[in-house]
Structure 1
Amino acid sequence: MTDLLYTLYPWVKSFHIMAVISWMAGLFYLPRLYVYHVERAQAVDGAPKIFLEMEDKLLRVIMRPAMYATWILGLIMVFTPGIVDWQWAWPWAKGAAVIAMTWFHHWLLARRKDFAEGRNRLTGRQYRMMNEVPTVLMVVIVLAVILKF
C-alpha cells in the first residue's frame, strides 16, 4: 500500500491543488454574489430568483464537489508515509485553517438558506467583510505549507 501511495502522490497532489483552486474560487465569489443580492437584487424584477439560482449552482456544482475532493485528496497525502512530520507546527496550522475554511463554507451555505427563506439579516458591508475570511485562511495555509514553520 505504501508503494502505491508513493506512486500516486504526484497525481494526488496535482488534483488536490486543482480542487483547492476551484473551492477557493467559490469561497471568494459567493460572498460577492451575496453583496449584490442584498444591494441590487430588489431593483430588478426577477433578480432575487436569479441570484438564488446562481448561488445554489455555485454551491452544489462547484464548491461542494471541490471541497470534498480537497479533503479526500488532502487526507490521502496526510496518510502517505513520510509526507507530513507532525512534530512541526505547519501541518497543525494548515489543518486548523482548512477546518476554519470548511466552517466558512458551511456558514455561506446557511446564509444561502437565509436568502431562500427571506430571512437574510446581513448587509452588503457585512458580506464584504466576510469576503476577507478565505483570503486570510489562504495566506495561513500557503505560508504554512511553503515555509514549513
Structure 2
Amino acid sequence: MDYYNLARGLHILAVIAWMAGMLFLPRLFAYDAEQNAKPEPLRSEMQALLRAWQTRLLRIIINPAMILAFIFGGWLLWLRSGDGADWSFAHQPWMMTKLIGVFLLAGWHGFLAGQRKKIAAGASKYSGRFWRMTNEIPFVLAIIMVLSVTMEWSF
C-alpha cells in the first residue's frame, strides 16, 4: 500500500474541513457583533442562536479537523523522512515556510477560540467590520503553504 499518498489524502481532507470552519467562524462573529444595533428581544434571540452555532462549529468541526490535520501532517513528515532516517528536507525554505504557516494558522485558531469565549460572555471588543476584514487570513496562509509544498522552492 502507498502510505504516503494515503497520508497526503487524509491530510488534505482534514485541512479542507479545518479551513472551511476557520473561514466561516469569523462570519458568525461578524453577524453576532452586528446584532448589537438591533432592538431586544430580536437581538438576544439571534445572538443566542449565533453563539450556539459558533460553539458547535468550533467543537464539532474546527477542533477535530485541526487535530486530524496535525496527526496526518506528522505522519506525512515521518514518511517523507524515510521513517525518521533523513530529516534534511525539513530545513528547506519551502518546508520552513509551510511550518511557519501552520504555526500562524494554529495561532489564529487559538485567537478565534478565545474570542468565542469573550463573545459568549458579551465581552468582545471587535466589530463586524473587523471580523469581515480578517476573515480571509486563513485563506492567505493556505495559499502560501500550498504553493510552498507543491513547488518545493528554494533559494
TM over 0.5: yes
- 6, 21, 30: which one pairs with 1:26? 21
Q: What whole-Å deviation, never above 9, does each CA across 1:114-148 have from its counterpart, x for those lacking one? A: 11111011011111121121121011101101111
Distance in 1 (CA, whole Å) between partners of 2:69 and 2:36 is: 32
Distance in 1 (CA, whole Å) between partners of 2:35 and 2:139 is: 25
* Range with bigger deviation, 76-85 or 63-72: 76-85
Q: Following TM superposition, where does structure 1 have runs of at least 4 consecutive aligned residues deviating by more than 6 angstroms?
A: none
Q: For 2:90, what is the secondary structure of its paired residue?
A: coil
- 132, 137, 145: which one pairs with 2:136? 132
Q: Is the 8 A contact 1:41 1:47 kept in 2?
A: no
Distance in 1 (CA, whole Å) between partners of 2:73 and 2:7 is: 8
Q: Normalised by the size of structure 1, how large is the TM-score?
A: 0.90
User: Aligned runs of 1:8-27 on 2, under 5 Å?
Assistant: 8-27=3-22
Query: Which amino acid in structure 1 is aligned with residue 56 of structure 2?
Result: K
Equivalent residue for 2:98?
94
User: Aligned runs of 1:38-53 on 2, under 5 Å?
Assistant: 38-40=33-35, 43=38, 44-45=42-43, 46-53=45-52
Distance in 2 (CA, whole Å) between partners of 1:15 and 1:34 is: 29
Distance in 1 (CA, whole Å) between partners of 2:139 and 2:6 is: 26
Q: Normalised by the size of structure 2, how large is the TM-score?
A: 0.87
Distance in 2 (CA, whole Å) between partners of 1:48 and 1:87 is: 47
Distance in 2 (CA, whole Å) between partners of 1:72 and 1:65 is: 11
The Cα shift of 1:87 comes to: 4.0
Q: Aligned Cα RMSD in Å?
A: 1.7
Distance in 1 (CA, whole Å) between partners of 2:109 and 2:73 is: 17
Q: For 1:86, what is the secondary structure of its paired residue?
A: helix
User: Aligned runs of 1:53-68 on 2, under 5 Å?
Assistant: 53-68=52-67
The Cα shift of 1:41 comes to: 6.1
Matched, 1:37 2:32: yes
Query: Which amino acid in structure 2 is aligned with residue 69 of structure 1?
Result: L
Report % sequence identity.
Answer: 33
Query: Which amino acid in structure 2 is aligned with residue 77 of structure 1?
Result: L
Distance in 2 (CA, whole Å) between partners of 1:97 and 1:87 is: 15
